[in-house]
Chains A and B, each alone.
Chain A
Amino acid sequence: MVERAHVLICSGSNCVSRGANSLRDEFETHLTKLGIREEIKLVNTGCVGLCEQGPFVIVYPEGVFYAQIKNKDIETICNEHLYKGRIVEKLVFDEAITEEKEIKQFTEIGFYKKQTKIALRNCGLINPDDIEEYIARDGYRALGKALLEMSRDEVVEEMIASGLRGRGGGGFPTGVKWRFAMANESDQKFIICNADEGDPGAFMDRALLEGDPHSVLEGLMIGGYAIGANKGYIYVRIEYPNAIEKLKVAIAQAKEYGLLGKNIFGSGFDFDIEIRLGAGAFVCGEETALIASIEGGRGMSRNKPPFPAAKGLWGKPTIINNVETLANIPAVIFSGAETFNKIGTEKSKGTKVFSLGGNIVNAGLVEVPMGTTLREVIYEIGGGIPNGKELKAVQTGGPSGGAIPTSLLDLQIEYETLIEAGSMMGSGGMVVIDEDNCMVDICRFYLDFTVEESCGKCTPCREGTKKMLELLDIISSGEGTLEDLDRLENLAKMVKNSSLCGLGQAAPNPILSMLDKFRPEFEAHVVDKRCPGGVCKSLIHLEITDKCIGCTKCAKQCPVDCISGSIKQLHSIDTSACIKCGVCKNICPVDAIISV
């Protein structure tokens, strides 16, 4: 029978890590017990975005947004809401219900109000394993339009007119790149989806692959048609097993429905897609290293020119597009460039998906029109900084980006403005940093990463990143001097100017940006031997203030037994024995322990 209610269980990786996978079984059990299993459609859907409040269960037709759901809540939802029609108010996300207990629409919830979902249009609304749901929401209409109603030239021109720029970080106009590949004559061409998403903390592409894989397939096919490629590859990092599964299911279904294979839509266009897996190398997100990997070689970058559009995979003209870029393409072709380029700013059209993380109340996935300010993202969408802390900086672009100080919070998010501010768009990672962080330490974190990930081919990156990390270690330890800051800056500039590929060219960005915008903090480390953020272990000691209530929790947890004190008495830390692990600080129920 036709179901009267749909229960959507968010199954993005964040919710899964919080136990979402067991929720479906609970629903099966209780609905069957109540004898109403056939009336309810259970759907495992993609990332809903408000990850900090998951796991989510959304019930239609009412549109009730249940948040932080545990296994034991399911029986109540089934008995009360699904059987008797009584919405379980205490389980509804507090912003999704009014004082008068009326259900609010998504668009009225603070987190979603200012978002515009284009790339994420289907995430959280469909079952990614059912191609018919994708088709029901206008899926593959763009492909049909392109193949049957547009010439290859027209498709390319439409992409150029839309103003869509690469969402992987480069920001190169997609249509222009396609035009190069289209113009190059060859017996064979390729189009590749870069699903290697390597920036720590970034999961925009993961959410798209898990939540709406067909949008990526459709984008790849439209691109293939435009440039004249009949073979597409999706290069996925192996650390995304769920995404790989979803892609496999989607590709199999597309083949079954004749949307992949020979003579699609009777147009004469053939297309096939193959998945290739990464093996844990950040550098393989760089297009020439990615190509080397698909060819079976070690992931190492190559000189450009020649660019892949001229000579790429196996020497053939190749286009590499990011997952989010591809997800936008069907929307552009279906609604038209004129509709798409109404959103955003003059030079940056459309929207951008960000993974908002760090010290922020509403950590998760957001999609906003270009031109939205950082202030709007952090305070109106993100809900501000938790625990009443002060904002210190916003880091964008992952290990290739820089930190933006609070003075620039009203900056409109666009490719160019972020570069002017000393950072970059990158793939969409946005880390919010509060006053209890140290900018030197954050640089060390990113350089630690890039040192490990450097492929080693060119000397500036291989040796330079290592040396920059060593200098940061010295500065952080309190043994550094002002000359070391100058050495660090000069080295950073040299590595940036002479590295072979984007990894090395961008690795110094956090350092250059933070030396520029947060120099006093670096100087405090070398001149005053002080860490203002209270992080660098050699420069701080932990102290128990008189807020202490003598609960003895810290003393019990201390791994080196250096805290003394009797019950209900002020405790104290023996600084000479303390290893600065911070366990006591985290566990204190009254925040009595501080870094000094």
Chain B
Amino acid sequence: MKSLDDLKKIREAAQHKVIMRGGTLDSIKILVGMGTCGINAGARPIMTKFVEELAKRNLITVTVAPIDCTGNCDNTPIVKVVIDKKETTYGNVTEKMIAKIIKEHVEGGKPVQDYVLGNKK
């Protein structure tokens, strides 16, 4: 460790190890419906892809978690994006939709209306 800069580099690189602990994170939450209906429709690869894409963009304050069946069994996989307690529910999510959701909604703050559950494509 030759300088405070060296320390800073390690600190920043290691943030992802600790940042989601302690309940202090004011996070954006990505919740993936993981009831049986969701799993059958392929929700697990969707969740994995979200994690990968977020990591690529170093969005370490965004958390991804499975949630119980939401009742929208006909439109699985279901993904809810929660920002400041405001929920947006996306239906029939495919891997191709993920990049756009992250760019426009998670980073840009604007839900992708076409993908929102109940909106016609």
Contact = CB atoms under 8 A, between A and B. Distances in A.
Interface of A: 1-2, 4-6, 8, 39, 41, 60-63, 82-86, 105-107, 125-126, 130, 132-133, 135-138, 140-141, 144-145, 148, 257-259, 264-266
Contacts of B97: none
A6 B65 CA distance: 11
Contact of B51 (A4, A145, A257, A265): A4
A141 B7 contact: yes
Given A84-B35, A135-B7, A135-B14, A62 B21 contact: no
A262 to B, nearest CB: 11
29 contacts: A2-B16, A2-B55, A4-B51, A60-B21, A62-B65, A63-B23, A84-B35, A84-B68, A85-B31, A85-B32, A85-B33, A106-B22, A107-B23, A125-B22, A126-B18, A133-B18, A135-B14, A136-B11, A136-B14, A140-B1, A141-B4, A144-B4, A144-B7, A145-B4, A257-B1, A265-B1, A265-B2, A265-B4, A266-B3
Name the residue in A83, A136, A257, A265 with the highest tally of chain B Cβ atoms < 10 Å from its Cβ: A136
Nearest 6 interchain pairs by C-beta? A85-B66, A61-B63, A258-B1, A136-B14, A132-B14, A85-B67
Given A2-B55, A4-B47, A6-B21, A85 B14 contact: no
Contact of B14 (A6, A107, A125, A133): A133
A137 to B, nearest CB: 6
B23 A130 contact: no
Contacts of B19: 136
A169 to B, nearest CB: 31
Interface of B: 1-4, 7, 10-11, 13-23, 25, 27, 29, 31-35, 47-48, 51-52, 54-55, 63-68
A105 B55 CA distance: 26
Given A4-B47, A39-B51, A125 B65 contact: no
Nearest to B56: A2
A148 B18 contact: no
Given A2-B16, A83-B66, A86-B68, A258 B2 contact: yes
Nearest to A265: B1
B65 A4 contact: yes
Contacts of A135: 7, 10-11, 14
Contacts of A6: 20-21
